[in-house]
Amino acid sequence: MSKENRIHCAALRSKVMSANEAASLIQSGMNVGMSGFTGAGYPKAVPSALAKRIMDANVNGKRFKIGVWTGASTAPDLDGALAMVDGIEMRLPYQSDPTCRKRINAGEMEYIDIHLSHVAQFVWFGFLGKLDVAVVEVAGILEDGRLIPSSSIGNNKTWLDQADKVILEVNSWQSSQLEGMHDIWYGTQLPPNRQPIPLVRSSDRIGEPYLRCDPEKVIAVVETHAPDRNSAFTPPDESSKRIAGHILEFLQYEVKKGRLPRELLPLQSGVGNIANAVMAGLNEGPFENLTAYTEVLQDGMLEMLKSGKLASASATAFSLSNEALAELTADLGRYRERIILRPQEISNHPEVIRRLGVIAMNGMIEADIYGNVNSTHVMGSQIMNGIGGSGDFARNAYLSIFMTPSQAKNGAISCIVPMASHVDHTEHDVQVLVTEQGLADLRGLSPKQRAKAIIENCAHPNFKPALSDYYKRALQFSPGKQTPHLLEEVFSWHLRTLRGERM
Amino acid sequence: MSKENRIHCAALRSKVMSANEAASLIQSGMNVGMSGFTGAGYPKAVPSALAKRIMDANVNGKRFKIGVWTGASTAPDLDGALAMVDGIEMRLPYQSDPTCRKRINAGEMEYIDIHLSHVAQFVWFGFLGKLDVAVVEVAGILEDGRLIPSSSIGNNKTWLDQADKVILEVNSWQSSQLEGMHDIWYGTQLPPNRQPIPLVRSSDRIGEPYLRCDPEKVIAVVETHAPDRNSAFTPPDESSKRIAGHILEFLQYEVKKGRLPRELLPLQSGVGNIANAVMAGLNEGPFENLTAYTEVLQDGMLEMLKSGKLASASATAFSLSNEALAELTADLGRYRERIILRPQEISNHPEVIRRLGVIAMNGMIEADIYGNVNSTHVMGSQIMNGIGGSGDFARNAYLSIFMTPSQAKNGAISCIVPMASHVDHTEHDVQVLVTEQGLADLRGLSPKQRAKAIIENCAHPNFKPALSDYYKRALQFSPGKQTPHLLEEVFSWHLRTLRGERM
C-alpha cells in the first residue's frame, strides 16, 4: 500500500482502516455515492471488499444489494465486481461495464440513464432518495481536513455534501502534483437562491482547488496505491480519419464564412477512436490557440496541449492511455496550469455550455434519415452505456455534431436507418451528422430536406438505395408529409438484424 | 384606421404608407421575420396585403414564395392568408394554423420545428440564412425612434437587429398603457463574448422597455387599428379538472416533503383547457405569493394576478380571451407593474429556466409506457403544431410535468402507447406524467419501473389491459430488458388507428 503519507489531518488519520473494515460499514439497502468518471478516480479497494462481503452474504442465503451512484463509468473493480455478485439494486447515472450491461439487459439490475448535468441537483433536490454513504477517492488530505481531488471530480462534491457518512480512499498512486489543478465551485444553491455561474471563459477558475468535507461524517479512511483503469490507445482507423477529415473541412468552411472565429470555440469531444482522430486532425490542422470545455480529457487532447495547439482544457476527468498518462505525469507541474478539472455539474452545465458556445462532437449508435439520434439502446431495447453528457452538450452547443461510421458489424448493420429504434437526441438538437461517407449540414433544413442530405451524404453505398427507396415510398404513402414514415415497415431493418440477417 | 397619433418620430412618420405599398417592397425569395406569438402582436395588415400580391403573381403564372419566420404561432390573417395562396416556401419555428398545417402535411410547404430559445441565436449565428425584411407590429414610436412593443415580443428584437430592411405596423388598437411593461435586454452577445444573464428572480427587470431600431433601415410604416386573435375561453372540462387536481395534490405533497418551498417555484404553463384548469385549481388552492416564468400569459394566470395568488408573471406574449383582455385593459396601469414581457430568447433561455428552477407543465400528443413524449406528430408523420418552448422548459426545469387526457377521439385513441411514434422529449426529460386517471411520479425510476407506474396510474381503464399485456410480453421476449420492446408490434396501435379502427 501507500509508501507516502498523504493524510495530514490527525482526526482523519485516526480513522485509517482496511478496505474490509470500511466495507463492513456499508449495509444492504443503502445508496452509495462513489467517485469515478470514465475509469479515473474511482475507489480502488472498498468496492471490491464490499463485493466479497456481498458474496459471503449471498452464500449464506442473505440478500445484499445497494444503490450505486457515480460520476459516470468506472472500472471492473467497481462496477464489474459489484455486478458480478449481483450486488447492485439500482445503478445510475451511467455505466459502460460488460458485466453490468449484461445484468441490466437480462433484467436483473435496474438502471437509470440520466443527463450527467442533472445528477447532482436531483440528489440535492431529494428526487433520488437518501444518499447514505459516499465512497470517494482523493489524492491526499490537508491538515485542516480539506481533500485534494483525484484524477476525476464527477459528483464528488455532491456526494461529500449530501451523504450521511463518508469513506475516503487516499490513493498514493495518484500524482501529488494534481494539487492545484482542480476548481471546485461552492456557489451552487437550491432554487430560488441560485445565482449566475461566474464562468465566462473555458479556462476561468471560479472556485477553490480542494473538496470540503465535514470530518465528523468520515467513518473510514482507506489507504490505497492502485492505478486508474487506463484504456489502451488504438491509433485511429481509416474510417475515423475520414470522419475527422470531413469535420475539419467543415470547421474551416465555417471560419471562412465568418460563422466561427479563427480559434474556433471551446471543443467538447467524447472518448474513443473517432474522437481521437478528430483531435489528431486538429493537431495537424490550421487552427491555433484552441480551447476545450468538455467532460473528459483523452489522449488526443493531451497531444494538442503538448503541441500547443490547445491553449487550455477544462474537463471533469482524465481518460488516458498508459503512454499519455506517463507524458502527463512527467510534466504535470506545467500541464496543471492549462488543465482544469471541475465538478460535472459545472463541466456539463447548460448555462455554461450555452454561454461559451461549445462545439459539441459526440458519437452515437444510429441516426435516422430525419436526424433523430439513438445514443444508448441497441435495437431499441438493449442498453449500451448511456446518454452521458451528450444531451447537456448537444442541446446547448453552438454547433451540435454527431458522428458514427456509416455501418457496423462488418456491413451487416446500417447506422443510418429509417427510424431510430430509441431516441436520445431529437431532430431539434442535431445540426450536423457525419460518417466516413460524408457530412450532412442539417441547419436550416426541414425534415424532408434533412432526409435527402443524410441519405446522400452519410449513408453507406450498400444501404443508400434501400434508404432512398424507403424515403421515396414514405413520401408517397405516408399519412403526413412533414416527417414521412411507413409505420408498418419502419423497424423492418432492425427486425432483420434480430433475425440474424443483414439489415 | 388609427384615430390617435402613435408615431412621434418625424423621420418615421414620413415613411407612413398603405399596407399594399409596404407589401410591394417584399420580393419573392425573401426571408421575412414577422412579429407574433400565440396570436398576439402579429402584423395585421401587411401579410394579408402580401397574400393578395402573391395571388396576383400566381394568377399571372409567376412563382412568389417567401420564408416566414415568427416568434411562434400567429393568426389566420398571417399564416392562414399566406398559406392559402401557397406563398410560404419555408415556415419556422412554430405554427398552429389549420391551412398551414394542411399544406405542410400535404408536402406543399417546408416547415422547421425549432426550440423557441434557439431561434434568435441561430439567426444571429447565420445558421438559417439571411433575414431580408422584418415586419413588426408595435404599439407606438417614440420621438427618438425607439419602439413601444406590442402584446408580444417573441423574436422582434432579433428581427429588427438582423433584417436588412424593416416594415413597422403601428397598431393603435393596442393599449397605449402597454408602455413600460416590457423588458428588452440588449446584453446578448455572440460567443465567445457572452456574459451571464443577470436575471435571478422571475420578476427582475434587466433591460429597457423599448425596442431599438435603426431608422435608416425602416422602409415603411403602416398604421393599423386591429385586434389580436384572441381565443375564446372555454371553461375547464371534467377531464382537465381532474388533471389539475392530481397536479395540485402532487405539489402539496412536494411542499410537505420539503422538496418545494411554500410559494412553490416559478410556474411555466402552456395554453388551453388543461393549463387553464391547473391555474384555476391554483387560484383556489392553498399556495400564496406564486410567481410565473413562462412563454404565454393566458386567462388562468390573469385570474391569479387579479386574485393576488400570483405575485408576478414573466412571459413573452399574451394569449387572452376577449373577456380577459377587457379585464387587463381596464386595469393595465396596475397589472403593468406585475407583468413583464421579454424577448423569447430570455423567456425561454435554458440558463434562466434552470437557475430559477421552473415548474414546467406542458401538454402533449402521446407518451409511451417508458415516458418518452411526442408533442408534435400525429401518427409519427403528421405535424400538429410544433415543440414550441416545451423543450426549453422541460429539460431545464426543477420539475418537468407533461399532461394529457388518457384518451382522445372519443376513446378511439389511447394517449399512452407502447412506443411514441415521434419523440420530442426523451425519457431523460420527463419526470411527471399526468392524465385524468392519475399521476405517475417517474423521478428515480428505471424504465421498467416507469412503465409500471405509467400504465397503472395514467392509462385509461379501456387500454390498461392491452398495455399491461404488451409490457408483460415485451418483458419476456424483448432482446434487451432495459427498455423492453417488441419492435414487430410496437406501432400496431397506431396502425389500427390509421386503418380507422380503435387503437
The answer, for A445 touching chain B at a CB cutoff of 8 Å, is: yes
d(CA A219, CA B110): 63
Residues of chain B in contact with residue A392, where contact means CB-CB under 8 angstroms, are none
Closest CB to B110: pick one of A261, A449, A491: A449
Residues 6+ apart with CB under 8 A from A222: A16, A17, A18, A19, A22, A43, A45, A46, A167, A168, A169, A170
Q: Which of A102, A255, A370, A487 to mutate to test the interface with B (most CBs of B within 10 A)?
A: A487
Residue A170: burial class (beta carbons within 10 Å; 0-12, 13-18, 19+)? buried
pLDDT of residue B500: 97
Question: CA–CA distance from B404 to each of A479, B83, B495 (Å)?
Answer: 23, 29, 21
* A475 to chain B, closest Cα gap in Å: 8
Torsion angle of C-alpha atoms A168, A174, A179, A185, degrees rounded to 10: -50
Residues A245 and A220 in one domain: no
Which triple of cell numbers denotes residue B255?
A: 411542499
- The Cα of B366 is separated from the nearest Cα of chain A by a number of Å equal to 15
**Does the beta carbon of A107 lie under 8 angstroms from any beta carbon of chain B?**
yes
**Given this model, what pLDDT does residue B3 score?**
53
In a domain, B420, yes or no: yes
pLDDT confidence tier of residue A3, bands split at 50, 70 and 90: low
Of A111, A480, A490, the CB nearest to B491: A490
pLDDT score of B332: 95
Query: Which of residues B169, B190, B224 is at a domain's end?
Result: B224
Quote the CA–CA distance of A262 and A283 in Å, as a whole number: 15
Residue A62 sits in the same domain as residue A176 = yes
In this complex, the residue of A129, A257, A426 whose CB is nearest that of residue B424 is A426
- Is B398 touching A (CB cutoff 8 A)? yes
Residues B209 and B295 in one domain: no
Q: Is B149 on the interface with A (CB under 8 A)?
A: no
| Closest by Cα among A478, A42, A147 to B491 | A478
Residues of B in contact with A194 (CB under 8 A): 200, 354-357
CATH number of the domain residue B439 falls in: 3.40.1080.10
Asked if B356 lies within 8 A of A196 by C-beta distance, the reply is no
* Chain A contact set for B257 (CB, 8 A): 126
Q: Is residue A415 within 8 Å of residue A404, measured between CB atoms?
A: yes
* Domain boundary residue, one of A174, A202, A224: A224
Residue A37 domain-assigned? yes
| Contact (CB, 8 A) for B448 and B456 | no
Residue B231 domain-assigned?
Answer: no
A384 shares its domain with A355: yes
Q: Each residue of A89-118: pLDDT tens digit?
A: 999 999 999 999 999 999 999 999 999 999
Chain A residues whose CB is inside 8 A of the B129 CB are 444
Average pLDDT over residues A287-291: 98
Active-site position among A223, A254, A295, A436 = A295
DSSP track, B418-445: SS-SS-SB-GGG--EEEETTEEEE-TT-
Pick B380's closest partner by Cβ from A378, A424, A485.
Answer: A485
By Cβ distance, the residue of B200, B475, B487 closest to A491 is B487
How many residues are given for chain A?
503
CB atoms within 10 A of CB A143: 11
A345 at B interface, C-beta within 8 A: no
> Which amino acids of B are annotated catalytic?
295
Q: Is A389 annotated as a binding-site member?
A: yes
Could you tell me if residue A273 is inside a domain? Answer: yes
Contact A426 B391 (CB under 8 A): yes
Q: Say yes or no: A188 and A220 in one domain.
A: yes
Whether pLDDT at A347 is above 80: yes
Q: Does B90 touch chain A (CB under 8 A)?
A: yes
Outline where DSSP puts E strands in A348-422: 359-363, 366-368, 373-374, 377-378, 382-383, 399-403, 407-408, 413-414, 416-417
pLDDT digits (tens, 9 = 90+) for A239-266: 999 999 999 999 999 999 999 999 999 9
Residue A481 sits at φ, ψ, to 5 deg, of -115, 20
For an interface test with B, which of A482, A488, A493, A499 has the most B Cβ atoms less than 10 Å from its Cβ?
A482
User: How many Cα neighbours within 13 Å face the side chain of B19?
Assistant: 21
3-state secondary structure of B484: coil
The reported pLDDT for the residue numbered B1 is: 41
Q: Are residues B344 and B408 both part of a single domain?
A: yes
Q: What is the pLDDT of residues A159-211, one digit of tens each?
A: 999 999 999 999 999 999 999 999 999 999 999 999 999 999 999 999 999 99
A77 secondary structure, DSSP code: I
Specify the number of domains making up chain A.
2
Is B20 a known ligand-binding residue? no
Interface contact B427-A113, CB threshold 8 A: yes
Domain carrying residue B487: 238-499
CA dist B221 and B435 (Å) reads 48
* Same-domain pairing of B387 and B305: yes
Q: What is the mean pLDDT of each run of 10 residues along chain B (503 residues)?
A: 78 98 98 97 98 97 97 96 98 97 98 98 97 98 98 98 98 96 97 98 98 98 95 87 97 98 96 91 96 96 97 97 95 95 98 98 98 98 97 98 97 98 98 98 98 98 98 98 98 98 97
Whole-angstrom distance, CA of residue B273 vs CA of residue B260: 25
Q: Is B194 on the interface with A (CB under 8 A)?
A: yes
In chain A, what residues touch B482 (CB-CB under 8 Å)?
104-105, 111, 377, 381-383
| Pick from A122, A382, A448: CB nearest B110 | A448
Q: Are residues A395 and A490 in the same domain?
A: yes
B194 min Cα distance to partner chain A (Å): 6
pLDDT of residue A51: 98
Tell me, yes or no, whether A4 lies in a domain.
Answer: no
3-state secondary structure A275-315: HHHHHHHHHHCCCCCEEEECCEEEHHHHHHHHHCCEEEEEE
- DSSP states along B49-81: HHHHHHHHHHHTT----EEEE-SS---IIIIIH
Residue type (1 letter), B181 = M
Q: Residue A106: inside a domain, yes or no?
A: yes
CB contact under 8 A, A482 and B383: yes
If asked whether residues A204 and A251 sit together in one domain, one would say no
Say how far apart CA B117 and CA B129 lie, in whole Å.
18
B5 within a domain of the structure (yes/no): no
Q: Are residues B255 and B140 in the same domain?
A: no
Using the Cβ of B68 and the Cβ atoms of chain A, whether some distance falls under 8 Å is answered with no
> Which residues have C-beta within 8 Å of that of residue A55, sequence separation ≥ 6?
A85
Query: Do B202 and B289 share a domain, yes or no?
Result: no
Same domain, yes or no: B34 and B183: yes
pTM: 0.98
> Is B385 at the interface with chain A, CB within 8 A?
no
Contact between chains at A190 and B125 (C-beta distance less than 8 A):
no
**Residue B232 within a domain:** no
Q: Is the pLDDT of residue A1 over 80?
A: no
